[in-house]
Amino acid sequence: MNVCIVGAGYVGLSTAVGFAEHGHRIACIDIDQKRINDINSGICPIFEPGMEEALKRSIGKGLLKATPDLKAAIASSDVIFISVPTPCDENGKMNTRFIDRASKDIASLLDGYKVIVVKSTVLPGATETIVKGNLEATGKIYGRDFGLCMNPEFLREGHALEDFLKPDRIVIGSSDKKAGDVVEKLYNGFSAPILRTGIKTAEMIKYASNSFLATKITFANEMGNICKLLGIDVYKVMEGVGMDRRINPHFLRAGCGFGGSCFVKDVSALLNKGRELGHEPRLLDAVLKVNAEQRKRMVHQLKARTELKGRRIAVLGLAFNPDTDDVRESAAIDTVQGLLEHGASVVVYDPKAMDNFRRLFPNLIYSESAKEALKDADACIIATDWDEFRKLDSKDFSGMKGNIIIEGRRTLDKSKVPHVDGVCW
């Protein structure tokens, strides 16, 4: 099928490359000309394992191209995906300006029946009020001139392509069978159960999933904080808990709190939506509060053990997850901020995320390797569990002046680095 994808961010690009792997012809639309040029030259604008190879493959087969020409892309497509960001405003509410703009642009250029699919994460009701509303405002008739679906994404950064190609489930929300059938056909060949729902239900499945995962992690963190005081290893506890099929072992890794562009944003948006509707979502509120505290724990822990003023502290890991260069809502941000506030001098290293972090903190000392960052450091904090850090042993830390190592993710092998102290283990 011919597919147009509006927004070539990590979701749009993973969707584009993933569908191209299944033989569909994809036009990626973006407003950033550099991004368009990069994609067409086979350069992946985000770091995501396997993505650049897959992108090159799709381009080589003539199945994928990026273009700013929305009109031509719409004219040659059967399905148009909207995968633009839905960021959080200062007040924690969903900002719909990009989806509003994208759907207005599509509405003004639509020529004949096409199925519009919202892939962006939007609160229940938004697909119909904003996207359908903008299409109808140009005189288009629903069901005759366009079909509408909501198809949420469940991709983890660092595993985005793998998650796209091997999903646990595919959710297709539609209010007319014809449009839903077109999207279902697009997923022919994927070996995952397909759940057909209404549009609002599909929108809510996405928020409920992210809220549940964020809650699950927060629960593990809370258990970890108690376990640490009791001298119990929370990882063993969660191994035992996760063996219960009703719970499952995933997303129970305790640590320095969840980060990334989605969990905080989506839980905040749902919390605010609940409040708007007159319901106080106490659980979601607690999840965000506990998480915000958790992200500050490593600095509190370090401060309890040493003076920070004037000390050189190495922070290893700046990305919010390993295998990504994304630093949005990363625990390293709170950590570095806290260290600077206490007057420490901060030296950092990350295998992929240094450029993105430098935009937020231009004045830190950026090292070329973990070893260089550790040299003469009074203490070290590990905020991301990159594989590269898993391999570190005592001699890698031997250049440090002090001997305090605090890890926010279970990264180091305690048999090789005995004095490592976990954030909640």
Name which position in 251, 293, 361, 390 contacts ligand UGA (CB under 6 A): 251
By CB under 6 A, tell whether 14 contacts ligand UGA: no
Name which position in 26, 39, 118, 155 contacts ligand UGA (CB under 6 A): 155
| HEC-encoded secondary structure of 51-98 | HHHHHHHHHHCCCEEEECCHHHHHHCCCEEEECCCCCECCCCCECCHH
By CB under 6 A, tell whether 12 contacts ligand UGA: no
In degrees and rounded to multiples of 5, residue 195 shows phi and psi of -110, 115
- The least CB distance from residue 332 to ligand UGA, in Å, is 10
- The least CB distance from residue 259 to ligand UGA, in Å, is 4
Token readout for 376 is 């003469």
How many residues touch ligand UGA under the rule CB under 6 A: the total is: 20
Identified catalytic residue from 44, 262, 380, 424: 262
By CB under 6 A, tell whether 253 contacts ligand UGA: yes
Q: Given the complex with ligand UGA, which of 321 and 411 has the nearer CB atom?
A: 321
Mark the segment that binds ligand UGA (CB under 6 A) among 130-138, 194-202, 260-268, 386-394. Answer: 260-268
By CB under 6 A, tell whether 260 contacts ligand UGA: yes
Name which position in 157, 350, 378, 407 contacts ligand UGA (CB under 6 A): 157
By CB under 6 A, tell whether 320 contacts ligand UGA: yes
By CB under 6 A, tell whether 262 contacts ligand UGA: yes
Q: Given the complex with ligand UGA, which of 175 and 384 has the nearer CB atom?
A: 384
Quote the CA–CA distance of 403 and 406 in Å, as a whole number.
10
Q: Are 83 and 77 in contact (CB under 8 A)?
A: no
By CB under 6 A, tell whether 390 contacts ligand UGA: no
Name which position in 7, 9, 85, 255 contacts ligand UGA (CB under 6 A): 255
By CB under 6 A, tell whether 210 contacts ligand UGA: yes
- Among this protein's residues, is 149 annotated catalytic? no
Contact characters 321-340, ligand UGA, x per CB under 6 A: x-------------------
Name which position in 65, 156, 303, 375 contacts ligand UGA (CB under 6 A): 156
Mark the segment that binds ligand UGA (CB under 6 A) among 122-130, 152-160, 169-177, 280-288. Answer: 152-160
Q: Name the residues annotated as catalytic.
A: 262
Residues found near ligand UGA in the complex (CB under 6 A): 121, 153-157, 210, 213, 217, 251-253, 255, 258-260, 262-263, 320-321
